[in-house]
Amino acid sequence: MSRSAIVISMLVPFAVACQAVSPEDAGDTLEKQLHADLKGSAQERDKGDFVVAVPQSVDDGAATTDLNREWERFTRKEGHLERTVKLLNEEFALPRDLSVAYLECGEANAFFDPANDQVGLCYEMLQEIAEVVSARITSESSAADIKAAEKAALGISDAILMHEIGHALISERFWDVPVLGEEEDVVDDFSTLVLIELDRPDAAEATARFWATTDPMSPDWEAYAGVHSLNPQRYANIMCLVYGSNPKKYGHLTNPYKPDHTVKQTFEAVGRDCTGESDYRDGEFDQKITAFYRLIGPWVLPDDPTSTSQPDAI
């Protein structure tokens, strides 16, 4: 997401480095910089927490409309964000606090605000997610269908929030992770890999379907030039990672003879079948999960045997 005007100026440090050293030395210098602050254990680097922020005023994003007040009540009563944050604190070390909030924004969006070390998911975005998911519910839907839709909506909100957390964590405010590729794709991958690693591929899968059902298939030139991949591409990228994490378990996602015709049609439409005849994306999950741990390994906390959090809480 992050279509708002927030700019994460990650190019500045590189521009300074390039003026100061020759191209041959730049790689060595960067390598030294990357490791300079990473001495010691993840616990020693863990100086901050993910912290739930509850907006107290209109300026902070407190709800001003009846609908948003409904979301405010729902999210506070439900406690989902608190459980998510607890799990993240058990998994990751932070150099400073990162506040995480549901709030009113005036548009369906989510964001990372580096000036305030905050990520936010807007009530309006929760409403949009709910509308997309509830469109699948009909008078014929069973109680199980409705429960599945609710679970999907929560999973999508988790994944979008994780995408914004990805923006925050890779920035110089937190982990300062090198980015090779489009940042929006990188943090989609971050979100998906975290959800897979936390045993929540269902949340990633629900998010992929969300993108597949919310984007026109004939984008204009402006969309091609945007920072985000087109939603069908985001769909395929997420789905291919989920599939690649366990091809046996998720083989049905790409099988045209199984009930999931919409999925197959979307894969064909974007020309990126994860299992296609050319095996184009074979090995992609292994490649990305390896990069994930190489880059953020120093910030991953060891397992706490006394933890009572359940992976499905996120």
**Closest CB 166 distance from Zn ion, rounded Å:** 8
Residue 8 or 62: the one with the smaller Cβ distance to Zn ion is: 8
**Closest CB 111 distance from Zn ion, rounded Å:** 8
**Closest CB 226 distance from Zn ion, rounded Å:** 11
Q: Which stretch binds Zn ion (CB under 5 A): 2-10, 15-23, 190-198, 286-294?
A: 2-10
The yes or no reply on residue 237 touching Zn ion (CB under 5 A) is no
**Closest CB 10 distance from Zn ion, rounded Å:** 13
Residue 1 or 125: the one with the smaller Cβ distance to Zn ion is: 1
As given in the structure block, the two tokens for residue 128 are: 């949009």
**Stated length of the chain:** 314
The yes or no reply on residue 109 touching Zn ion (CB under 5 A) is no
| Cα 264 to Cα 27: distance, rounded to the nearest angstrom | 42
The number of beta carbons lying within 10 Å of the beta carbon of residue 14 is 12
Q: Which stretch binds Zn ion (CB under 5 A): 80-88, 180-188, 208-216, 264-272?
A: 180-188
Q: Which stretch binds Zn ion (CB under 5 A): 183-191, 204-212, 268-276, 298-306?
A: 183-191
Q: Which stretch binds Zn ion (CB under 5 A): 52-60, 170-178, 181-189, 246-254?
A: 181-189
Give the per-residue contact string, 127-166, with Zn ion (x = CB under 5 A; - = no).
Answer: ----------------------------------------
Residue 228 or 264: the one with the smaller Cβ distance to Zn ion is: 228
Name the closest residue to Zn ion (Cβ). Answer: 2
Residue 10 or 62: the one with the smaller Cβ distance to Zn ion is: 10
Q: What share of the chain is helix, strand, coil (3-state, %, to 5)?
A: 55, 5, 35
Residue 169, strand partner residues? none
The yes or no reply on residue 2 touching Zn ion (CB under 5 A) is yes
**Closest CB 144 distance from Zn ion, rounded Å:** 33
Q: Packing angle between helix 123-134 and helix 201-212, nearest 10 degrees?
A: 80
**Closest CB 228 distance from Zn ion, rounded Å:** 7
* 125, 150, 270 from 183: Cα distances, Å: 21, 30, 20
Per-residue buried b or exposed e for 53-74, using 16+ beta carbons within 10 Å of the residue's own CB: bebeeeeebebeeeebeebbee
E strand or H helix that includes residue 50: strand 50-52
Assess contact for 121 and 161: CB atoms under 8 A.
Answer: yes
Q: Which stretch binds Zn ion (CB under 5 A): 72-80, 128-136, 184-192, 255-263?
A: 184-192
**Closest CB 84 distance from Zn ion, rounded Å:** 18
Give the per-residue contact string, 34-73, with Zn ion (x = CB under 5 A; - = no).
Answer: ----------------------------------------
Any idea what DSSP says for residue 283? T
| Cα 150 to Cα 283: distance, rounded to the nearest angstrom | 33
The strand ranges marked E within 93-248 are: 98-103, 110-113, 118-122
SS3 136: coil
Assess contact for 113 and 6: CB atoms under 8 A.
Answer: yes
Q: How many binding residues for Zn ion (CB under 5 A)? A: 3
SS3 311: helix
| Cα 171 to Cα 288: distance, rounded to the nearest angstrom | 19
**Closest CB 210 distance from Zn ion, rounded Å:** 15
**Residues near Zn ion, by CB under 5 A:** 1-2, 184
